[in-house]
Amino acid sequence: MTQQTVKVKKNIVDEGIEAGLARLTPERIESVIQRVLNREAGARLKTYARTCVHCGLCSDACHHFVSMNRDPKLSPAGKVKRTIGVMMQKKGKVSKDFIREAAMVAYSECNLCKKCVLYCPFGIDVGYLMTLVRRICHLLGVVPRYMQDTAHSQSVHFNQMWINGDEWVDTLFWQEEEARDEAPDIRIPVDKEGSDIFYSVIGPEPKFRAQLIYQAAMIFEAAGSDWTMPGSPGWDNSDLCMFSGDNEMMGRNKRAHFEAAAKLRVKKIVMGECGHAFRSVYDVGNRWLGFKMPPIPVIHAVEFYHDLVCNGKIRILKKFAQPITLHDPCNIARGMGLYEKARELAHALCETVVEMTPNREHNICCNAGGGIINCGPPFKDKRVEANSVKAKQLFDAKAMGAEVVIAPCHNCHGGLEDIIHHYGVEMELKFFGDIIYEVMEKPE
Amino acid sequence: MTLQTLYTIIAGPLAVLAITGFVLGCVYRIVMAVRQTASDRMVIEYFHPRYALRSILRWLTPYSTVNMRRHPIMTLVTFVFHLGMVVMPFFIFAHMLMVYEAFGLSWPTLPDVFVEWMSWAVLLALVFFLGRRLILPEVRYLTTLSDYLILLLIALPFFTGIWAYKGWWAAEWVTLLHMLSGEILLLAIPFTRLGHMVLFFMTRGYMGSEFGGIRHARDW
Ligand code: SF4
Ligand code: SF4
Ligand code: SF4
């Protein structure tokens, strides 16, 4: 059985990558690589390449390496050696087969989670280097098909799920109607100018998890918040273009999002429970647009809920009884240091919190992040198998009594769900929103 | 050529060349790294002296990061090795004496026995590093020929230093070899991976700034 799965893994063929490769010429490969190495990348690439002492101390940071029998090719520095290292050495004169391999490494063997930064004595950021490889692959047109599809959707609709303008507003009205059964006066205010809060979500919420919007509305109502959601594009804060290497389109997405908020003259943007969307708005997209910090304050759901719950703005009737464990999403742990707030929030909401170790900024990634889950079905087995350490962590938490995993990130949900399923962990997954909705005093 | 003329050359013009080459080389490295930020503006934009220093000091303190504690022996060896290689040479009596004879400057130095033991420790550390490179698959995979040459380059001045101090066979000649290999090592620092000696402060400083200033998370 194991042999079979190994075989599947070795034979991943991605239509998007193959179609892109078919169009490439050696000249094109060379000129694109030269362009990125010499014009787009600068100090960090060159200094990192020069500084790395080949000590291998970064290896243990990476869940791919640890999960896959400590395969040296999967250590952070090993991945650099297999991709951009060779590109630099050969000055872009590399083959199509090499590009296929590089795309596989960059898109499916690194989550850009930046944990290796905490292990390398020099703080070499392999996540950044893999972003550069993805940038090159994007410019070469060699991108996994499923990921490119979401990027296409963003360039047509500014959301990743091919949702049309009227479908979006319909969904909001539908959820408002549903919520009215429970709280007759509740509203989901669309395009309400001058609100305190601009609430934005990711594309999959209206598509697959519309009840999350309902729950959020109930939470806002209970807290008496002055909030709104935009009726036109800009409502989706996610960004797969950031992960495919399409920086230009990433910038357009972020501009649409910031402009939607600016048009409504809101005080701040509150985002749903998603890690990569937060990274795109707070860390990457804003920089591409030339904003050192987001032009409108951006607050992740964990921070927002922490304020509501810990400062008594909503009342908790009875704490959540089942023991929970908390998964730290990289993008808000290493990306925003929200690990302490997430814990305070968990303790305020739940009776028993079991810790997984390592945790906080040393968390183990779910292996869905960095867009790997968005590379779709061809990569699923590989993704799940390359994270047996997370499965072990979950089993350990379960052995200590945890029954529910809270993961305040959509990608993590997807990734952990697959891990729980594949390894038979049998734990339930929840968002903080689910728990708050369950234990709070509901508006009437 | 006599021993004496060789000595005058190695201790004179060659030493001056090595030291100036080292200093200019390091300055060149720093200037280049800073200039390359022209196409990577963030590095300067987000640089934050306090957080940079916080991270640098953290990573210069033994056993103060998670990964250092995960590899206790490697950490011990690394710190002893770097102290022996970077700090100790300044406090060797014979080294100080040369500066004193040339410029009249003097400072306290370490006892010779201690220096000898430290030198052995540096050599042992090099054997340890060599072993890691040969035995640990993840390190072996990364290792290139230049990594082995660098180990050799560092071993030479320490080995010849002990030899000369002990007054073993042909010690006068070995002293020359010691000085020469030391000069080569010094000159090699800015132009090989040994440049991490200066670049460490830049890469760690930048990451410290990013993590402290923007990500509000620890980077150790
Ligand atoms: S960024 Fe994360 S996934 Fe990528 S090499 Fe580093 S530790 Fe591994
Ligand atoms: S820990 Fe840093 S210096 Fe060592 S191999 Fe990894 S990236 Fe290179
Ligand atoms: S999906 Fe979650 S755990 Fe995985 S990289 Fe993103 S934030 Fe990290």
Enumerate residues 6+ apart whose C-beta is below 8 A from A45. A37, A84, A129, A132, B40
What pLDDT score was predicted for residue A6?
44
Q: Which of A295, A228, A293 has its CA nearest to residue A255?
A: A295
Ligand 3 pocket test, candidate residues A109, A274, A276, most atoms within 8 A of CB: A276
Distance, CA of A313 to chain centre: 29
CA dist A364 and A224 (Å) reads 36
**Whole-number Å distance between alpha carbons of A152 and B17:** 59
> In 10 A of CB B103, how many CB atoms?
8
According to DSSP, the β-strands at A268-271 and A197-200 are: parallel
Instruction: Give the best residue of B215, B216, B219 to mutate against chain A (max A CB count within 10 A).
Output: B215
CA dist., res. B85 & res. B88, Å (int): 6
CA distance B142 to A231: 52
- The atom of ligand 1 lying closest to the CA of A370 is 3
Nearest chain B Cα distance for residue A214, angstroms: 31
Amino acid A3: pLDDT: 40
Predicted local distance difference test score (pLDDT) of residue A4? 41
Task: Residue A239: name the closest of A129, A131, A347 by CA.
Answer: A131
d(CA A283, CA A148): 22
Q: How far apart are CA B50 and CA B46, in angstroms?
A: 12
Q: pLDDT value at position B1?
A: 67
Which among B65, B141, B203 is the nearest to A124, CB-wise? B203
Q: How far apart are the first and last CA of chain A?
A: 55
Q: Are strands A404-406 and A353-354 parallel, antiparallel or unpaired?
A: unpaired
Closest CA to A185 of A209, A157, A154, A221: A221
User: Do B142 and A125 make contact, defined as CB atoms within 8 angstroms?
Assistant: no
- Residue A393: pLDDT over 70: yes
**Alpha carbons within 13 A on the beta-carbon side of A422:** 20
The token pair that represents A209 in the structure block: 């998890």
Q: Which of B142, B146, B151 to mutate to test the interface with A (most CBs of A within 10 A)?
A: B142
Hunting for tokens 């350490």 — which residue is that?
Answer: A389
- In this prediction, the answer to ipTM > 0.90 reads yes
Question: Could you give the CA distance from residue A341 to residue A362 in angstroms, rounded to a whole number?
Answer: 16
Cβ(A82)–Cβ(A103) below 8 Å: no
Whole-structure pTM value: 0.95
How does pLDDT run along chain B (220 residues), one tens digit per residue? Answer: 688 899 999 999 999 999 999 999 999 999 999 999 988 888 999 999 999 999 999 999 999 999 999 999 999 999 999 999 999 999 999 999 999 998 999 999 999 999 999 999 999 999 999 999 999 999 999 999 999 999 999 999 999 999 999 999 999 999 999 999 999 999 999 999 999 999 999 999 999 999 999 999 999 9
Stretch among A272-286, A320-334, A393-407, B2-16 having the lowest mean pLDDT: B2-16
- Taking a C-beta distance cutoff of 8 angstroms, is the pair A188, A218 a contact? no
What are A200's strand-pairing partners? Answer: A271
- Per-residue pLDDT of A159-173, as tens digits, reads 999 999 899 999 999
> Tell me, what's the pLDDT at A7?
43
Asked if A41 and B40 come within 8 Å (Cβ–Cβ), the reply is yes
**Residue B84 Cα distances to A26, A308, B158, B177, angstroms:** 49, 55, 10, 19
Domain formed by A315-439, architecture: 3-Layer(aba) Sandwich (3.40)
Q: Which two tokens stand for residue A362?
A: 């040393």
Beta bridge partners of A197: A227, A268
Q: Whole-angstrom Cα distance, residue A70 to residue A74? A: 8
Q: Encoding tokens for residue B13?
A: 């013009």
Task: pLDDT band for A194, please (50, 70, 90 cuts).
Answer: very high
Angle at A406 between CA B69 and CA A382, to 5 degrees: 70
Contact B220/A118, CB-based, under 8 Å?
yes
Give yes or no for a contact between A126 and A110, defined as CB atoms under 8 angstroms apart: yes
Task: Please report, for residues A257, A303, A336, A387, B112, the alpha-carbon distance to residue B215 in angstroms, rounded to integers and kept in the order given.
Answer: 21, 14, 4, 25, 48
Q: Which residue is listed with tokens 């075989």?
A: A7
In 10 A of CB A81, how many CB atoms?
19
Q: How far is A101 from B101, CA to CA, in rounded Å?
A: 60
* pLDDT computed for residue B41 by the predictor: 86
Residue A204 CB less than 6 A away from ligand 1: no
The DSSP string of B52-74 is: HHHHHHHHHSTT-SHHHHHSHHH
| CATH code given to domain A15-143 | 1.10.1060
Give Rg (Cα) of chain B.
Answer: 20
Chain B residues in contact with A56 (beta carbon < 8 A): 132, 136, 138-139, 141-142
pLDDT of the residue at A2: 41
Burial class (CB in 10 A: 0-12, 13-18, 19+), A269: buried
Q: Which residue's CA is the closest to the ligand 1 atom numbered 7?
A: A62
- The rounded Å distance from CA A333 to ligand 3 centre is 9
Q: Which residue's CA lies nearest to atom 6 of ligand 2? A: A58
Q: Is the CB of A115 under 6 A from ligand 1?
A: yes
Q: Average per-residue pLDDT in chain A?
A: 95
- Which of A46, A60, A73 is facing B141, going by the closest CB pair? A73
**Of A410, A397, A176, A91, residue with least CA distance to A271:** A410
**Residue that has been written with the tokens 């999350």 in this structure:** A212
Which ranges in A183-300 belong to alpha helices (H)? 204-208, 211-223, 241-244, 247-263, 275-279, 285-288
In A282-365, DSSP assigns E strands to 298-300, 324-326, 353-354
Task: Pinpoint the alpha helices (H) of B46-136.
Answer: 49-60, 66-70, 72-82, 93-103, 112-135
- Where in chain A is CATH 1.10.1060? 15-143
Are the C-beta atoms of residues A439 and A318 closer than 8 Å to each other? Answer: yes
Residues of chain A with CATH 3.40.50: 315-439
The CB of A371 under 6 Å from ligand 1? The reply is no
- Ranges of beta strands (E only) in A134-204 are 197-200
The torsion defined by the Cα of A216, A218, A223 and A228, in degrees rounded to 10, comes to: 60
The whole-angstrom separation of Cα B36 and Cα A44 is: 8
Contacts of A181 (CB under 8 A, 6+ apart): none
Q: Band of the pLDDT at A347, cuts 50, 70, 90?
A: very high
Cβ-contact B220, B55 below 8 angstroms: yes
Whole-number pLDDT of residue B145: 97
Q: Which two tokens stand for residue B193?
A: 């991976």
Ligand 3 binding pocket includes A436 (Cβ within 6 Å): no
Which of A54, A57, A116 for a ligand 2 pocket mutation test, highest count of atoms within 8 Å of Cβ?
A57
Round to whole Å and give the CA distance between A364 and A374. Answer: 19
